[in-house]
A and B are shown apart, each in its own frame.
Chain A
Amino acid sequence: QVQLVQSGAEVRKSGSSVKVSCKASGVTFNSFAFSWVRQAPGQGLEWVGGIIPLFGKTNYAQKFQGRVTITADESASTVYMHLSSLTSDDTAVYYCAREASIWRWGQGTPVTVSS
């Protein structure tokens, strides 16, 4: 059974950065792509970026280019999302998801950015 377990809630100051992790189990880690998606309070779902660990290839939404870095550690079956230059607009729940015909999602990590 595929399971994605994300790191816990984070509180950051404006201008700082945050790194969220997502550990996968029950899946052959390098066989899939992973995405990060966020939902800000009262807003819709927004794709942040993704990684294909087998090739080390990343793709980012234009909006986050230059501020987000997604990495993968095959030995730990874990993907990471690092987001820098945080503002209050980055306050959101961040989800990781394993892509396949059926996407599997993590439980979400709330990130709160205060000024």
Chain B
Amino acid sequence: AIQMTQSPSSLSASIGDRVSITCRASQDIRNDLAWYQLKPGKAPELLIYGASNLQGGVPSRFSGAGSGTDFTLTITSLQPEDFASYYCLQDHTYPRTFGQGTKVEVK
């Protein structure tokens, strides 16, 4: 199975900060990677698909980059509603695998 190593596991940031989260795949997954935001009591919200494509309705402060094995989610100016957990997901092969998650907290 492809392992997705996500880092950091948590981070503290302030409103307006630039935040980056990385996922590294244990083998080449081309651009078959998505980023999700997770808030308590809500279904996962898709932010980025195909490694760098912004899902409709998602603010442009979110962006994704990378291909192959190394991927990054960036939030350019953190807003109050962005304090949440974030997960990467590879759907290149079965079994599908998620990163361990990153919790973005208030500094």
Which residues of the other chain, A, contact B94 by a CB distance below 8 angstroms? 50, 59
Please report the total number of A residues contacting B with Cβ < 8 Å.
22
Q: Which of A98-115 contact B (CB under 8 A)?
A: 99, 101-103, 105-108
Q: Does B55 contact A (CB under 8 A)?
A: yes
Cα A106 to Cα B43 in complex, Å, equals: 8
Total contacts A to B, CB within 8 angstroms?
Answer: 51
Closest-by-CB residue of B relative to A60 is B95
Chain A positions within 8 Å of B53 at CB level: 101
Among the 9-residue stretches B14-22, B72-80, B85-93, the one with 4 or more Cβ atoms under 8 Å from chain A is B85-93
Distance, CA A101 to CA B36, complexed state (A): 14
Q: Which residues of B contact A49 (CB under 8 A)?
A: 95
Report the minimum CB–CB distance from A31 to chain B (whole Å). Answer: 16
Question: What residues of chain A have their CB less than 8 Å away from a CB belonging to chain B?
Answer: 35, 37, 39, 44-47, 49-50, 59-62, 95, 99, 101-103, 105-108
| Chain B interface residues toward A at CB < 8 A | 1, 34, 36, 38, 43-44, 46, 49-50, 53, 55, 85, 87, 89, 91, 94-98, 100-101
Can you sample 26 A-B contacts with CB below 8 Å? A35-B96, A44-B85, A45-B36, A45-B89, A45-B98, A45-B101, A47-B89, A47-B95, A47-B96, A49-B95, A50-B96, A59-B94, A59-B95, A60-B95, A61-B95, A62-B1, A95-B43, A95-B44, A102-B46, A102-B49, A103-B34, A103-B46, A103-B49, A103-B91, A105-B43, A106-B43
